[in-house]
Amino acid sequence: MKIEMPTLPYATNALEPVISEQTINFHYGKHLQNYVNTLTSLVKDTEWADKSVEDIVKGAPDGPLFNNAGQVLNHALYFSQFRSPRQNNQPEGRLLEAINTSFGSFENFKAQFTQAATTLFGSGWAWLAQQEDGKLVITKEANGGNPVRQGLKPIYGLDVWEHAYYLDFQNRRADHIAASWDIVDWDVVARRLH
């Protein structure tokens, strides 16, 4: 992945009422754009200039370079994994099989993921990631952390920084997490499997 703004695969109001157009305009249009701009300036004329965002996240030391690269990668994955809300939204096929194998059932996975996202202290991300052997795991990452740092493949991530939900849910993170299940595009998530 290059350092650039990802294109939204939906209209800015398509995720309402789960994520409002106002939140998309700020979160995608301002926060992510700032991470992209900052990362671009940080890598200019350095050893990182020709590296992919994933390689920067994997190899950069903690600090501004890693933080901004992590947020560019995280948000590119985040904004591309949604679609208009649907009730009873759940994965099928190979992804559902992998979830059932790793967590016992989709409901168990949702409960464990919700627990991880709800209990992450401060700002960060909850991730569904895949190990090299195919097993799925849930990780909690502070700030701009990403499971690629542990050799895992991120396949679904939920942003629990307040800027991701505060305009729509104020301080009710758990309500945002519960509503977010309706907008996951499981086909996109499934394509991220090994």
161/125 Cα distance (integer angstroms): 7
Cα torsion through 78, 174, 86, 139, rounded to 10: 40
- Asked whether 6 and 79 are in contact (CB, 8 A), the reply is yes
163 annotated as a binding-site residue? yes
Radius of gyration of the chain (CA): 16
75 annotated as a binding-site residue? yes
Helices (runs of H) and strands (runs of E) counted in the chain: 9, 3
Which helix (DSSP H) or strand (DSSP E) does residue 130 occupy? strand 124-130
31 annotated as a binding-site residue? no
159 annotated as a binding-site residue? yes
- Please state the residue numbers annotated as binding site: 27, 75, 159, 163
List, as residue ranges, the binding site for Mn(2+). 27, 75, 159, 163
